[in-house]
Amino acid sequence: MPQRRVVLAAAVGVLAGCAGSLENPERFDGGPQAGFVCPSLGKPAKAEVILQRCVTGCHSAAAHESNLDLESPDVGTRLVGISTSACPPRVRVDRADGGTLQELITQASPTCTSAMPPGGGMSNAEIDCIIEWTRNLADGGSE
């Protein structure tokens, strides 16, 4: 009988620490769900906004407009303090004013190039999330 209690206690302990389900993907370790979670959306920035709104057709590992790949790992090394090819000598992301990326997603008529994404369509919460994500990257945080 004592062995059954030990087995039952172990099973309860395992179930209590369950990784999660598809209804709560933020509980999984690693994978595309990991990384900075936007306070404005309560969701992972890269998986829920960047990959959905900025990568397809424009800033993927295969097709990177303006030499910007937002899909591959270590995206901060390609954004923070890096000169933009479209608006030199400005940088893509910086802590002082957000850089050109922030300008391109928040203004209908940016000072150089055109508003992003083409055709607009991002919600204010998505824009806020990208700004929070880039500030996090500028402060040395995870993507």
The yes-or-no verdict on residue 7 having pLDDT over 70 is no
The model's pLDDT over 19-50, given as tens digits with 9 standing for 90+, comes to: 444 444 444 444 444 699 999 999 999 999 99
Percent of all residues in the chain with a pLDDT value above 70, rounded to a whole number: 76
Kindly report which listed range (10-14, 67-71, 97-101, 139-143) carries the lowest average pLDDT score: 10-14
Say what the pLDDT of residue 91 is: 94
Say what the pLDDT of residue 97 is: 84
Q: Which pair of tokens denotes residue 73? A: 């790992």
**Do 49 and 38 touch, CB atoms closer than 8 A?**
yes
Q: What is the mean pLDDT of the chain?
A: 80
CA distance linking residue 139 with residue 117, whole number of Å? 24
Please name the residues in contact with 61: beta carbons below 8 A apart, sequence gap of 6 or more.
69, 71, 72
The model's pLDDT over 81-110, given as tens digits with 9 standing for 90+, comes to: 999 888 888 999 998 888 999 999 999 999
User: Which whole number is the average pLDDT over 60-80?
Assistant: 90
Please name the residues in contact with 129: beta carbons below 8 A apart, sequence gap of 6 or more.
38, 40, 41, 43, 45, 48, 49
pTM, entire model = 0.73
Say what the pLDDT of residue 55 is: 84
